[in-house]
Chains A and B, each alone.
Chain A
Amino acid sequence: MDVGFCLRSEAAGAMRTALMSAENLQLTLKAEPSQEERALTHTKRGPEETHKAGNEDLKEMLESNKESLKLEAMKRVVGLIAKGKNASELFPAVVKNVASKNIELKKLVYVYLVRYAEEQQDLALLSISTFQRALKEPNQFIRASALRVLSSIRVPIIVPIMMLAIKEAAADMSPYVRKTSAHAIQKLYSLDPDQKEQLIEVIEKLLKDKSTLVAGSVVVAFEEVCPDRIDLIHKNYRKLCNLLVDVEEWGQVVIISMLTRYARTQFTSPWKEGASFEENNEKAFYASDSEEKSERTEAEAYVMDPDHRLLLRNTKPLLQSRNTAVVMSVAQLYWHLAPRHEVNLVTKSLVRLLRSHREVQYIVLQNIATMSIQRKGMFEPYMKSFYVRSTDATHIKTLKLEILTNLANEANISTILREFQTYVKSQDKAFAAATIQAIGRCATNISEVTDTCLNGLVLLLSNRDETVVAESVVVIKKLLQTQPTQHSEIIKHMAKLFDNITVSMARASILWLMGEYCDRVPKIAPDVLRKMAKSFTAEEDIVKLQTVNLAAKLYLTNSKQTKLLTQYILNLGKYDQSYDIRDRTRFIRQLIVPNEKSGALNKYARRILLAPKPAPVLESAFKDRDRYQLGTLSHSLNSKASGYQELSDWPAVAPDQSVRNVEVVEPVQEWAPSVGKTKKLKSDDKFYSDNEEEKAEEESESSEGSSSSSSSSSGESSSESEEQSSEESDKTSSDSGKSSSGSEETSSGSDSQQKKKKKTKKAPQKKSKTAAASSDSDENGNGPVVKDSSSSDESSSGSEDDSDSDAAAAPTTQQQKKSDRKPGPKVKSEVEVSLLDLVDFSPAPTNAPKGPVVSPSLLSDLEGLSLSNTSSTMQVTAPSFGPVKTYELLHHMTGKGLSAKYHFPRQPCLHQPGMVAVQVTLSNGSDRSLEEIHVGDRSPASLNIHCFNTIERLEPEASVTVSMGIDFSDSTQAANFQLCTKEDGFSVSIQPAVGELLMPSSLSEQDFSREQGKLLGMNETSATVAMATANASSQAVKQRVLSVANVGEVPSGQDVAHR
Chain B
Amino acid sequence: MIHSLFLINASGDIFLEKHWKSVVSRSVCDYFFEAQERASEPENVPPVIPTPHHYLISVLRHRIYFVAVIQSEVPPLFVIEFLHRVVDTFQDYFGVCTEAAIKDNVVVVYELLEEMLDNGFPLATESNILKELIKPPTILRTMVNTITGSTNVGEQLPTGQLSVVPWRRTGVKYTNNEAYFDVVEEIDAIIDKSGSTITAEIQGVIDACVKLTGMPDLTLSFMNPRLLDDVSFHPCVRFKRWEAERILSFIPPDGNFRLLSYHVSSQNLVAIPVYVKHNITFREGSSQGRFDLTLGPKQTMGKAVEAVLVSSQLPRGVLNANLNASQGTYTFDPVTKMLTWDVGKINPQKLPSLKGSMNLQAGASKPDENPTINIQLKIQQMAISVSTVTRWPLGGAKCTKAPPHMTPETTPLAGYDSDEASLR
Task: Name A's B-contacting residues (CB within 8 A).
Answer: 67-68, 71, 75, 78-79, 81-84, 102-105, 107-108, 110-111, 115, 118, 139-142, 144, 148, 151-152, 154, 174-176, 179-180, 183-184, 186-187, 190, 212-213, 216-217, 220, 245-246, 248-250, 253, 257, 317, 320-325, 327-329, 348-349, 351-352, 355, 357-360, 362-364, 382, 384-385, 387, 389-391, 393-395, 419, 422, 425-427, 463-465, 631-634, 636-637, 639, 641-645, 694, 697-698, 701-705, 707-709, 711-713, 715-717, 720, 782, 784, 794, 796-797, 801
Which residue in chain B gives the minimum CB-CB distance to A362? B47
CB distance from A524 to the nearest CB of B (A): 28
Asked if B121 contacts A250 (CB within 8 A), the reply is yes
CB pair B22 A118 closer than 8 Å = yes
Residue of B nearest to A211 (CB): B162
Give a binary string over B107-127; 1 marks a CB under 8 Å from any A CB, 0 the rest.
101110010001101110100
> Is A782 touching B119 in the complex (CB atoms < 8 A)?
no
Are A104 and B152 neighbours in the complex by a CB distance under 8 Å? yes
Instruction: Output the nearest chain B residue to A357 by Cβ-Cβ distance.
Output: B84
Let me know if B163 and A631 touch, CB within 8 A.
no
Known contacts A84-B26, A324-B77; A115 and B251 CB within 8 A of each other:
no
Nearest chain B residue, comparing its CB with the CB of A641: B73
B138 cross-chain contacts in A, Cβ below 8 A = none
The 8 closest A-B pairs by CB, nearest first: A712-B215, A643-B72, A712-B214, A104-B151, A141-B157, A425-B369, A384-B199, A393-B43
Structural contact, A782 and B400, CB atoms closer than 8 A? yes
Chain B's nearest CB lies how many Å from the CB of A333?
12
Q: B66: shortest Cβ distance to chain A, in Å?
A: 10
Chain B residues 169 to 216 lying within 8 A of chain A, measured CB to CB, are: 170, 188, 190, 192, 198-199, 201, 203, 213-216
B47 touches A389 (CB 8 A): no
Contact mask for chain B residues 1-24; partner A; CB cutoff 8 A; 1 contact, 0 none: 100000000000011111101110
A115-B19, A325-B81, A709-B251 are contacts. A217–B121 as well, Cβ < 8 Å? yes
- In the complex formed, the residue of A with least CB distance to B400 is A782
Interface assignment of B303: CB less than 8 Å from any CB of chain A:
no
Given contacts A82-B18, A390-B313, A796-B163, contact A384 B266 (CB under 8 A): yes
A148/B199 contact (C-beta < 8 A), A357-B80, A698-B240, A708-B168 known: no
List CB contacts (< 8 Å) of B216-243 with chain A.
216-217, 229-235, 238-241, 243
A325–B75 contact, CB under 8 A? yes
Q: Is the beta-carbon distance between A79 and B106 smaller than 8 angstroms?
A: yes
When the two chains form their complex, are residues A705 and B199 in contact, meaning their CB atoms are under 8 A apart? no
| 8 other A-B residue contacts (CB within 8 Å) besides A382-B266, A422-B192 | A78-B107, A84-B14, A187-B119, A321-B233, A325-B77, A348-B229, A644-B72, A782-B401
* A639: min CB distance to chain B, Å: 7
- Asked if A702 and B238 make an inter-chain contact with CB atoms under 8 angstroms apart, the answer reads yes
Q: Tell me the complex Cα distance, A395–B44, Å.
A: 7
Minimum C-beta distance from A723 to chain B (A): 13
Residues of B within 8 A of A642 (CB): 71-73
Please give, as numbers and ranges, the residues of chain A lying within 8 Å of B190 by CB-CB distance: 387, 389
Task: Find out whether the CB atom of B238 lies under 8 angstroms from the CB atom of A705.
Answer: yes
- B350 CB–A CB distance under 8 Å: no
10 A-B interface contacts by CB (under 8 A): A105-B151, A250-B78, A253-B78, A324-B81, A358-B60, A363-B47, A641-B50, A641-B72, A643-B71, A717-B404
What A residues does B163 contact at CB under 8 A? 708, 796
Q: Are A637 and B215 in contact (CB under 8 A)?
A: no
Q: Which residue of A lies closest to B372 (CB)?
A: A390
Q: Does B316 sit within 8 A of A, measured CB to CB?
A: yes
B46 contacts partner chain A, Cβ-Cβ < 8 Å: yes
Q: Are B240 and A641 in contact (CB under 8 A)?
A: no
Bound CA–CA A349/B229 (angstroms):
10
Asked if A154 and B22 sit within 8 Å, CB to CB, the answer is yes
Chain B residues near A643 (CB, 8 Å)? Answer: 71-73
CA distance A694 to B244 in the complex (A): 11
- When the two chains form their complex, are residues B230 and A349 in contact, meaning their CB atoms are under 8 A apart? yes
* A250-B125, A322-B232 as given contacts; A427 in contact with B214, CB under 8 Å: no
Q: How far is the CA of A213 from the CA of B118 in the complex (A)?
A: 14
Residues in A with CB closer than 8 Å to B43 are 358, 393
Q: Would you give the shortest CB distance from B94 to chain A, in whole angstroms?
A: 15
Complex Cα distance, B70 from A715, in Å, reads 46
- Asked whether any CB of chain A lies closer than 8 Å to the CB of B255, the reply is no
**Which B residues lie within 8 Å of A246 (CB)?**
164
Contact B149 A68 (CB under 8 A): yes
User: Are A425 and B368 neighbours in the complex by a CB distance under 8 Å?
Assistant: yes
User: In the complex, what residues of B have CB within 8 A of residue A631's CB?
Assistant: 75-77
A176 and B119 contacting across the interface, CB-CB below 8 Å: no
A385 contacts which chain B residues (CB < 8 A)?
Answer: 199, 201, 266
Interface residues on B, range: 35 or more
Q: Which residues of B contact A637 (CB under 8 A)?
A: 48, 50, 55
Other-chain contact of A427, B80, B168, B240, B313 (Cβ < 8 Å): B313
**Known contacts A175-B162, A708-B165; A320/B239 CB under 8 A:** yes
A454: shortest Cβ distance to chain B, in Å? 21
Partner of B239, one of A179, A184, A701: A701
Contact A633 B374 (CB under 8 A): no
B215 touches A633 (CB 8 A): no
Give every chain A residue within 8 A of B47 (Cβ-Cβ).
358-359, 362-363
Contact A704–B121 (Cβ < 8 Å): no
A250 to B233, CA, bound (A): 16
The CA-CA distance from A67 to B316 in the complex, in Å, is 62
Q: Which residue of A lies closest to B39 (CB)?
A: A394
Complex: how many Å from CA A393 to CA B369?
A: 20
Smallest CB separation, B379 vs chain A (Å): 20
Whether B374 contacts A390 by the Cβ 8 Å rule is yes
Whether the Cβ atoms of A703 and B164 lie closer than 8 Å is yes
Partner of B77, one of A71, A79, A104, A328: A328
**In the complex, A633→B266 CA distance in Å?**
32
Specify which chain B residues have a CB less than 8 angstroms from the CB of A81 in the assembled complex: 110
Using CB atoms, name the residue of chain B closest to A713: B403
Given contacts A328-B75, A363-B47, contact A713 B240 (CB under 8 A): no
Name the CB-closest residue of A to B373.
Answer: A390
Query: Once bound together, how far apart are the Cα atoms of A390 and B109, in whole Å?
Result: 36
Contact A422 B251 (CB under 8 A): no
Asked if B74 is at the interface (CB within 8 A of a chain A CB), the reply is yes
Within 8 A of A (CB), among B61-109: 61, 70-78, 80-84, 106-107, 109
Q: A637-B50, A641-B72 are in contact. Are A323 and B81 (CB under 8 A)?
A: yes
For the complex, is B315 an interface residue (Cβ under 8 Å from A)?
Answer: yes
**Across-interface contacts of B71 in A (CB, < 8 A):** 642-643
Instruction: Check if B106 sits within 8 Å of A213, measured CB to CB.
Output: no
Task: Please report the C-alpha to C-alpha distance between residue A463 and residue B15 in the assembled complex, in whole angstroms.
Answer: 46
The answer to whether B215 touches A427, judged by C-beta atoms less than 8 angstroms apart, is no
CB distance from B129 to the nearest CB of A (A): 10
Answer yes or no: B34 CB below 8 A from chain A CBs: no
Q: How far is the CB of A703 from chain B (nearest CB, A)?
A: 7
A533–B130 Cα gap in the complex (Å)? 74
Q: Contact check, B72 vs A797: say whether CB atoms are below 8 A apart.
A: no
Tell whether, in the assembled complex, residue B75 and residue A78 are in contact, meaning their CB atoms are under 8 Å apart.
no
Checking B22, B55, B258, B263 against A352 with a beta-carbon cut-off of 8 angstroms, the contacting residue is B263
For the complex, give the distance between the alpha carbons of A364 and B192 in Å: 27
Say whether B369 contacts A320, CB under 8 Å: no
Q: Decide if A713 touches B235 in the complex (CB within 8 Å).
A: no
Residues of chain A lying within 8 A (CB to CB) of residue B119: 151-152, 183-184, 186-187
Complex contact A322–B21 (CB within 8 A) = no
Contact A183 B118 (CB under 8 A): yes
Residues of B contacting A389 in the complex (Cβ-Cβ under 8 angstroms)? 188, 190, 422
- Chain A residues near B217 (CB-CB < 8 A): 705, 708-709, 712, 782
A321 close to B235 (CB less than 8 A):
yes
Residues of chain B with a CB closer than 8 A to A108's CB: 107, 110-111
Q: Is the CB of B122 within 8 A of A250?
A: yes
User: Which A residue sits closest to B312, measured CB to CB?
Assistant: A390
List chain B residues, Cβ under 8 A from A358: 43, 47, 60
B214 touches A716 (CB 8 A): yes
State whether the Cβ of B365 lies closer than 8 Å to any Cβ in chain A: yes
Contacting pair B59 A357 (CB below 8 A): yes
Q: Nearest Cβ in chain A — how far from B254, in angstroms? A: 12
